[in-house]
Every structure is written in structure tokens, then in C-alpha cells.
Amino acid sequence: MHVPLTTLDFLHRAETVYGARAAIVDEPAPPGGGLGTFTYAELGQRARSVAITFDELGFDAGERIAILSPNAGRFLVALFGIPAHGRVLVPINFRLNRDEIAYIVEHSGASALLVDPEYDELTSDIPVKHRFVLGGETDEELFGRSGEPRFTADDETATATINYTSGTTARPKGVEMTHRNLWLNAVTFGWHMSVSDRDTYLHTLPTFHCNGWGLPFAIAGMGARQVVIRKVDGEDILGRVEREGVTFLAGAPAVVTAALDAAAARVERGEAVPGRDTVRMVVAGAPPPSKLIERVETDLGWEFMQIYGLTETSPLLTVNRTTAEYDNLSPAERARRLSRAGAPAIGVRMAVDGHGELLARSNHVFEGYWAQPEATADAIVDGWFHTGDGGELDDAYIVISDRKKDVIISGGENVSSIEVEDCLFQHPGVAEAAAIGVPDDKWGETVKALVVLRAGHESVDEAVLIAHCRDHIAHYKCPTSVEFRTELARTATGKLQKFKLRAPYWEGREKQIN
């Protein structure tokens, strides 16, 4: 028997088994008003309603519906309602500018745009056939209908979402994720993360990013409660852990840093840090420094887990979680081992080609780039997806050395920016760090460190940090200059935007390499 794997399965199980249970705890007072707390039965009704709305507007199966919103209860309704009923959801990064948003709406061929009230004015002149400002004024029209939708997803190979990758110098590409991709990613991810009906999940990860890495589906399928947080704030995160009994959250290293800083402030005030021995956090988006990982265990008492993947892989490729073999290690050594990207998840095969690039095969790998067959052919060659990341194998574990474009070549030697950043993070005065290559007449490129200092460490200067690095890593890898910043450019998911950090130093040059 062959039964199609579709995203409807997760909501169907949640409604059937856990219908009366609280499904979503919305942000308390977002623009347009929140939806409060609602059950899985209510989530199912609202998901069908939004599908019926587009039925009545004459939308065919396969039509694209874009959404621009921070984390919100209404976003989750759309995520469960639109793909499950035969149409394609196009989540858009809410931090993009007007022209970037307009490009995605146009390129995806979206017939409708759902927009959070905060971004109403920004997007008001973007051409689109149907436009809904999410909030109290459109709730009845979108979420108040009864009945059965015209379409139900019944083809696991059909496109469920198109997720646009953040571009560097080029336009973003639309990653087509099928129902099969999303289903297998969610189930495998939930299995590796030990998701159960006893969990309470905090949405610290943007839902637009890889569909919240697929965790909304995994969480719903097990009937766990989902708490929406609109904006990442360290103290707010700790407060939700305390009030809502949060047991599980996900995010980039920047989210970890925010929680750690808030915890340190609580300790100074003589207040308790919540979640010790009950919270686990999975991190991805950038290789976290081992010192940061160690502090999750020592300062927060939370379990640290790491995954590696890309939008094109749904994203799950590898998982690193403390095993029985790590139990008797020191926190520092355990953190060092956990800093590796991880071992292949169930159903994933990884390899390193002759150029040091990581390759992947799995059922999670995307269908292709929307309307860009040449880019698809460049990315998937002979049945392997080319990640664009440099790495190596450490037994079964993948170690990321760098994005291919982020490798610094100084005097003919490859320097991993990640290794330099990890070294900088070992200094107690460093809150954030980025290592980039800048032009140098003698060496071609040389390493420059961009650093944000921790409060109370303002006396740390360039010479101190360079000496610190020279004490710990090969001298050719060390920064030759340090520039202090108040903040570093990051994406909405916490990744350093190194192309933006590098750009001023390479201005006027034909190539971004010397």
C-alpha cells in the first residue's frame, strides 16, 4: 500500500488525538491583536477556513500564496492550512526591503499576499491580485468560515512551500519543498529531538525560515503546545520558559547569546535562571563557538543540541547531541565535541568531494529552484546536492570548515574564519566576533576581526585580542587588525552577513579576492 505523505497528516493527527488540547499560545499583544490560546481542534477549523477563503476567490490547486509576517498564530494557521489543502505557501523574510519583497511576490507568481499589520505600509504598493492585512479586521473572512475545502493535498511530490534563500550579490532563489520533503524532515527531526506530547515548544526561530525548520509540523503531530514569541529578547525567552513551562526551543547562536546574557543579568540581581535540567535547545544557522556551548550547560543548565543543514535540504542533514559516551567528559571537552556539525540524520548520506565541499543525499533534499532549472542543475549533480560548505569527516561526524566563499586565503594558506572566530570567543571580553579577509599587498588577503565587546570589558584592545589568538592558533591564522563595533550585520535567523561586512574593504575592486 502506498499512502501519500503530506503535511495534512500532522494536523489530522493533532486534531484526532489532541483536539481539546491547547495548540497555540499566541503573542499577547501583537499589531492587529493576537489570537490568544486556541486548541488543535480550533487550529484545524481555522486551517480549513483559510483554504475555503481561497476556494471562494477561485484559486486553483498549486497557486501560490505569499505571507510576510514575524512569528504569529495567524502565520501558523496559514502554514497548516494552505499547503495541506493543495496550494503553495511562499513565506517571505520580514526583514527584507520593499523591492526585495516585491521581487519574491512577482517571481513566485503569488496570487495573494498575507501581510502582518506592521508591514502594511511597506508593502501597500506591491502589485498582487489579492492582499489581506492579517489582524482582527480580516479574521472572520480568513479564519471564521465553516465547511470543507475544495482541495486536499494528495500528491506527496507536489510543491508545498517555496522558501526563498537569502541572496548575497544575486537575487534570492526560490527553494521548492515538496510534501514528501517536509513530511520526512519533520518526522526525522522530531525523532532525533525526542519530541513528545509533554513538550512545550517556544517559537524563537522565525517561521519564515525553512518553515521554522519543520518543527511546527513535528510538534503538532505529537500534540505538544506551541508558544509564539514575536521578537527574540533574552529576558523574554527566560520569562516564557518560567511562565509557560517551555521544554524545547530552537534558534541561531545569537539566540543562545541573548539567553545567556539575560541569565547573567538575572544572577547579578540574585534571581533564579529557569529551565535547568528540563530545557533542551537545538541550534543551527552558524557553527557556534565551543565556549558558547559550554556556557549553555554550565550557566543555563540546558541541554545543547546542534543540527546542520540548508534551506535546500528542508533543512535536516546532521545531528549532534550528547551521547552516553560523552557523559563522563568535562563540560569543556563535551562542548568541543558538540561543536561539530553532527553525524548524518536517519536517511541522510554525506560525503566530501575532492575540493573539500560537503555533498548530501536524502529524501529531504529539495525538488529544485523555482523557475531556475540551470541553478538546480548546478546544485544537484549526479544525485548529490552541493552544499557550498567546506568540511571534513571526523569519524562519523561532519566538521564545517567554512562556507566556500568565506575561506580566507592568506599567503596561499587557507584560513577558516570559523576557527578564528571560535578562538576570539574564548576571550571573556568578546560578545560577538566575525573574521573576514581584507586586501593585503603582501599576503593577498589578511585576517581582520570585527568584534563586539561585552559590557564591562571596554579596556580590551586590539593588541590584547591579537595576542590572545597568537597564544592559541597558528600565527598565520591570526587577525592582523581588530575593529570594534557596537553590532554585526546578521540575517533574520542570526547568521553573520559576511558579504556585507567584507564589502567596504573591497570597494572599487573587480574581484572580492586578492
Question: How long, in residues, is the chain?
Answer: 514
pLDDT-based confidence at residue 492 (cuts at 50, 70, 90) = low
Q: Quick one: average pLDDT of 132-152?
A: 97
pLDDT at residue 345 is higher than 50? yes
Of the ranges 7-11, 70-74, 322-326, 485-489, which one carries the lowest mean pLDDT score? 485-489
pLDDT at residue 169 is higher than 50? no
E strand or H helix at 18: helix 8-18
How many other β-carbons are positioned within 10 Å of the β-carbon of residue 471?
Answer: 10
pLDDT at residue 507 is higher than 90? no
pLDDT at residue 401 is higher than 90? no
Q: Quick one: average pLDDT of 318-347?
A: 96
**Alpha carbon separation from 493 to 26, 95, 106, 209, 497 (Å, rounded):** 20, 10, 24, 7, 11
pLDDT-based confidence at residue 493 (cuts at 50, 70, 90) = low
Please name the CATH architecture into which domain 1-23+35-180 falls: 3-Layer(aba) Sandwich (3.40)
pLDDT tens sequence across 188-222: 999 999 999 999 999 999 999 999 999 999 999 99
pLDDT-based confidence at residue 170 (cuts at 50, 70, 90) = low
pTM beyond cutoff 0.75? yes
Place of cell 563522563: 328
Region 409-506: CATH code: 3.30.300.30
pLDDT-based confidence at residue 166 (cuts at 50, 70, 90) = low
pLDDT of residue 473: 86
Runs of H (alpha helix) within 306-372:
331-338
More confident residue, 401 or 176: 176
Of the ranges 137-141, 340-344, 469-473, which one carries the lowest mean pLDDT score? 469-473
pLDDT of residue 100: 85
Runs of H (alpha helix) within 270-394:
290-295, 331-338, 373-379
pLDDT of residue 513: 47
Of the ranges 148-157, 241-250, 438-447, 451-460, which one carries the lowest mean pLDDT score? 438-447
Q: Which amino acid is at 21?
A: R
**Alpha carbon separation from 280 to 201, 241, 243 (Å, rounded):** 10, 11, 16
pLDDT of residue 167: 46
pLDDT tens sequence across 23-77: 999 999 999 999 999 999 999 999 999 999 999 999 999 999 999 999 999 999 9
pLDDT of residue 486: 94
Alpha-carbon distance of 309 to 317, in angstroms, equals 5
Alpha-carbon distance of 489 to 478, in angstroms, equals 22
Domain ranges of the chain: 1-23+35-180, 349-402, 409-506
pLDDT-based confidence at residue 148 (cuts at 50, 70, 90) = very high
Q: Which three cell numbers stand for residue 227?
A: 508558544
Runs of H (alpha helix) within 230-351:
234-244, 253-269, 290-295, 331-338
pLDDT-based confidence at residue 402 (cuts at 50, 70, 90) = low
pLDDT of residue 496: 80
pLDDT of residue 514: 47
Q: Which residues pair with 24 in a beta bridge?
A: 38, 226
pLDDT at residue 410 is higher than 60? yes
More confident residue, 288 or 482: 482
Q: Quick one: average pLDDT of 389-417?
A: 81
349-402: CATH topology is Luciferase; domain 3 (2.30.38)
pLDDT at residue 182 is higher than 90? yes
Candidates 439, 373, 23, 458; CA nearest to 203 is 23
Alpha-carbon distance of 497 to 506, in angstroms, equals 15
Alpha-carbon distance of 250 to 457, in angstroms, equals 29
pLDDT-based confidence at residue 447 (cuts at 50, 70, 90) = very high
DSSP strand pairing (88-92 vs 112-115):
unpaired
Q: Which three cell numbers stand for residue 311?
A: 534551506
pLDDT-based confidence at residue 157 (cuts at 50, 70, 90) = very high
pLDDT of residue 405: 66
Q: Quick one: average pLDDT of 387-396?
A: 90
Q: Is 178 exposed, middle or buried (0-12, 13-18, 19+ CB in 10 A)?
A: buried
Alpha-carbon distance of 59 to 394, in angstroms, equals 50
pLDDT of residue 445: 84
pLDDT at residue 237 is higher than 50? yes
Percent of the chain with pLDDT over 70: 96
Percent of the chain with pLDDT over 90: 82
What mean pLDDT value characterizes the chain?
Answer: 93
